[in-house]
Structure 1
Amino acid sequence: MQAYISAIGTAVPKYKIEQSKIAEFMCKVHQLTEVEKNRLQALYRATGIESRYSVLRDYGSGKGDFSFYENSDDLEPFPGTQKRMKIYEQEAKDLAYNASLDCLNSLKSFRKELITHLITVSCTGMYAPGLDIDLVNKLELKPSVERTAINFMGCYAAFSALKVGSAICKSDPEAKVLIVCVELCSIHFQKNKSEDNMLANALFADGGAAILLESQPSGQPALSIENFHCDLLSKNAEDMAWKVSDFGFEMRLSSYVPDIIREGIRKLVERLKDSLSYPIEHFDKYAVHPGGKKILEAMEEEVGFCKKENKYAYEVLRNFGNMSSPTILFVLKALWLDLTKSDDQGTILSVAFGPGLTLESMVLKIHC
């Protein structure tokens, strides 16, 4: 018995903000010198991001028009974790709901009451009763649906949810597992001027995604989950980290991460190939988490595929930025929408990275 991805849905909040406008916001609130401004604007241009989405309008607003931050030169008093979690509780449920509807409505005549399991994924907020219960109520799922929450695992967390969902489908032929990832990265802006913080502010955004797993797919196309493989580069754990602080959650994202990934990715992919029950030399398609432009380039060089083959990751990075856990599902959806009959039985390599430093990989087979 296998697990199949039957549908993928995505959603973004209402505020679409150009990358150049976010750079202007950062220059003002960090009170940068002209030299520092030029350096920051160059960093923002180099990300490959054109626009990002946020539940906060402030990043595209001028001083005096902020709705979340204080309308002062230094944003003081700076919002604490409680205020940020209030925004998360207000906004995350709607984003998760919209992503779920986008997923389920793509299947003709699928009935929501058939869902047996709900897995929610997030690392940017929490509350109780939580996102899972809000989704059960908003989607009008059965109150007996089995709920699992995967929290604080970062950009690779969708893989953890897919592993859990796959195990459920393999053990129960009637299982229909809805996985929902939602992240509000933008509510955790930190105004210290460290290199790591400046880099994180240039990349992260808000978004939600949902995916339906079944033991037998409801329609076509569908993707069967063939296998997973994970490696942990523990000596580099602090190069990508995520901590709760008094003023929201603080990201540590070292500029050395692309080099660290470069060192480990080839072995990861080789071990993934070895874990399959059939030989495979080359993959037909690629779905890579766009943690940043340099990470994508490192993947291409080490695994041996070209930028054109990695186009879905660049497309998502350009239009949405890095939304943490939902991002890889955005990439998979972009790939999904391009599938044709000629892709039947082709293979997809999907990879994501996160705190730890964790390298996650998965092989999918296409059914059209």
Structure 2
Amino acid sequence: MAVGPEVHSAMSNADSNGKHHQRQDASRSESKHHASILAIGKAVPPNRYDQSTFPEFYFGVTNCSHKVELQQRMQKICDKSAINTRYSILNEETLKQHPEFYTPGEPSMEQRHEFLEEEIPKLAAQAATNALKEWGRPVSEITHLIVVTLSGVSIPGADVRLVKLLGLRHDVQRIMLYMLGCYAGITALRIAKDLVENNPNSRVLIACSEMYAATFRAPDENYMYDIVGASLFGDGAVGVIVGTNPNPLTERSLFEIRWAGVSMAPDTAHVVQGKLKLDGLYFYLDKSLPMLLGENIAPFCKKIMEHAPEQLHLSYNEMFWAVHPGGPAIVNTVEEQLNLDPEKMSASRYVLENYGNISASSVLYVLDEIRRRPAKEEWGAALAFGPGVTLEGVLLRRNVDETNS
């Protein structure tokens, strides 16, 4: 069908306008101000435990030294855990004051909450203070606060206590994330990214504080996961500051958060569970978790890579990896499924070795370890996993010139 010159002109203009809009969209994409991690600070309780002797301490402090066979089983778990040391707010003196924490059948939820609602924000404040010190800006410039913890549920929550402990503004916008599990450190980064990219000049403080006192109890032959948990989990807090457009004179970007996303493996809600009961928090972890993670991690990482600049053509071994060190099987599964060189998991294994599994704090500890090492790869990803089964991930660009230390 023939068309008149005026139609040709309209088509030409439309094509020209379309290309103009494409260039505008590309320009907007290039000029978008990405969220950046501006500072990271850590804190641990004063009680440091050697993994090789922990079963002896654990069975002794819970008055269960007579359960020799069960202690030997725990010793084998500890010996295979790839952990050397862990930290805990609990010590012999604390447990003497709170025998209900380990006395079978003794209700203790109220006492655990009272204990943790004090200790969780105190440790979080130490980590946040370290992050604020590194950041170097006035605390009054913090506009948003995200607090992450499995423990110490109370009203008002740890977020309100942290406002006072840190001297934050009374109008700081607060988000409280309770009971999410090991992936919540990445959840907090995802929320912070959305906040700062949609609120110019904002600065978000993430405070993540985890303690396993909520699950501590005497060993029980009929519930082996208590022993597994007591063999793996440690206490630790981390503070992270996130913002956009860092002031080149007073701030530095450690990592740009280029993309953040989450996925759930279908029909896996039964695999990782936690139940609050009269004598504390009970965890259940199905043995199928590493296998399910193995089935889902590669498709999830492919999704992450779809958001990397096309011209990079990165392979996984050309990237850095901050993977939640939930245990040796978790780290090994990610390494195998992504065909990673062993050195790519070295930061995760370092955190597991020196701190154990500190739930949501773990992956942020790994990021802190990566930024302290000589910069090799510019691009990378951080991954964490937990109940759901949930996979959380972020695509990161490391500012190589800024992070060598």
State the shift of 1:205 in Å. Answer: 1.4
Taking structure 2 as the reference length, the TM-score comes to 0.83
Of the three residues 67, 70, 81, the one matched with 1:36 is 70
State the number of aligned residues: 358
Of the three residues 138, 148, 154, the one matched with 1:111 is 138
Higher helix share: 2
Of the three residues 79, 82, 90, the one matched with 1:45 is 79
Tell me the distance in 2 between the aligned counterparts of 1:165 and 1:296: 26
CA distance 1:71–1:319, shift in 2 (3 Å): same
Question: Aligned pair 1:253/2:253, yes or no?
Answer: no
Match of 1:229 in 2: 261
CA distance 1:2–1:34, shift in 2 (3 Å): same
Question: Aligned pair 1:305/2:337, yes or no?
Answer: no
Q: Secondary structure at the match of 1:155?
A: coil
CA distance 1:187–1:20, shift in 2 (3 Å): farther
Query: CA RMSD for the aligned pairs?
Result: 2.1
- 8 Å CA contact 1:81–1:247 kept in 2: the answer is yes
Of the three residues 162, 167, 170, the one matched with 1:143 is 170
- 8 Å CA contact 1:56–1:186 kept in 2: the answer is yes
Tell me the distance in 2 between the aligned counterparts of 1:68 and 1:295: 36
Tell me the distance in 2 between the aligned counterparts of 1:93 and 1:232: 30
Tell me the distance in 1 between the aligned counterparts of 2:255 and 2:168: 24
Tell me the distance in 2 between the aligned counterparts of 1:326 and 1:256: 24
Match of 2:242 in 1: 213
State the shift of 1:214 in Å. Answer: 0.5
Superposition map of 1:317-328 within 5 A: 317-328=352-363
- 8 Å CA contact 1:49–1:319 kept in 2: the answer is yes
Tell me the distance in 1 between the aligned counterparts of 2:145 and 2:309: 29
Of the three residues 263, 269, 273, the one matched with 1:241 is 273
State the shift of 1:134 in Å. Answer: 1.1
Q: Secondary structure at the match of 1:196?
A: helix
One-letter amino acid matched to 2:162: L
- 8 Å CA contact 1:69–1:79 kept in 2: the answer is no
Match of 1:84 in 2: 112
Of the three residues 375, 390, 393, the one matched with 1:358 is 390
Question: Aligned pair 1:200/2:234, yes or no?
Answer: no
User: How high is the sequence identity, in percent, across the aligned residues?
Assistant: 27
CA distance 1:267–1:199, shift in 2 (3 Å): same
Of the three residues 65, 70, 82, the one matched with 2:99 is 70
State the shift of 1:33 in Å. Answer: 4.6
CA distance 1:25–1:115, shift in 2 (3 Å): same
Match of 2:43 in 1: 11
User: Which runs of 5 or more residues in structure 2 are unaligned?
Assistant: 1-32
- 8 Å CA contact 1:229–1:268 kept in 2: the answer is no
Tell me the distance in 1 between the aligned counterparts of 2:215 and 2:97: 12
Task: Give 1 or 2 for the bigger CA radius of gyration.
Answer: 2
Q: Secondary structure at the match of 2:128?
A: helix
Tell me the distance in 1 between the aligned counterparts of 2:341 and 2:355: 22
CA distance 1:88–1:55, shift in 2 (3 Å): same
> Which stretch shifts more, 186-195 or 153-162?
186-195
- 8 Å CA contact 1:13–1:54 kept in 2: the answer is yes
- 8 Å CA contact 2:196–2:244 kept in 1: the answer is yes
Match of 1:349 in 2: 381
Q: Secondary structure at the match of 2:183?
A: helix
Question: Aligned pair 1:94/2:94, yes or no?
Answer: no
Match of 2:151 in 1: 124
User: Which runs of 5 or more residues in structure 1 are unaligned?
Assistant: none
- 8 Å CA contact 1:56–1:67 kept in 2: the answer is no
One-letter amino acid matched to 2:37: I
- 8 Å CA contact 2:112–2:213 kept in 1: the answer is no
Taking structure 1 as the reference length, the TM-score comes to 0.91
- 8 Å CA contact 1:69–1:75 kept in 2: the answer is no
- 8 Å CA contact 1:158–1:326 kept in 2: the answer is yes
Q: Secondary structure at the match of 1:105?
A: helix
State the shift of 1:319 in Å. Answer: 0.8
Question: Aligned pair 1:159/2:186, yes or no?
Answer: yes
Tell me the distance in 2 between the aligned counterparts of 1:81 and 1:20: 30
State the shift of 1:267 in Å. Answer: 1.1
Give per-residue Cα distances to partners, 1:136-168, cap 9 Å, x unaligned: 111111111111111111000111111111111
Q: Secondary structure at the match of 1:236?
A: coil
State the shift of 1:275 in Å. Answer: 3.6
One-letter amino acid matched to 1:242: G
State the shift of 1:314 in Å. Answer: 0.7
Q: Secondary structure at the match of 2:40?
A: strand
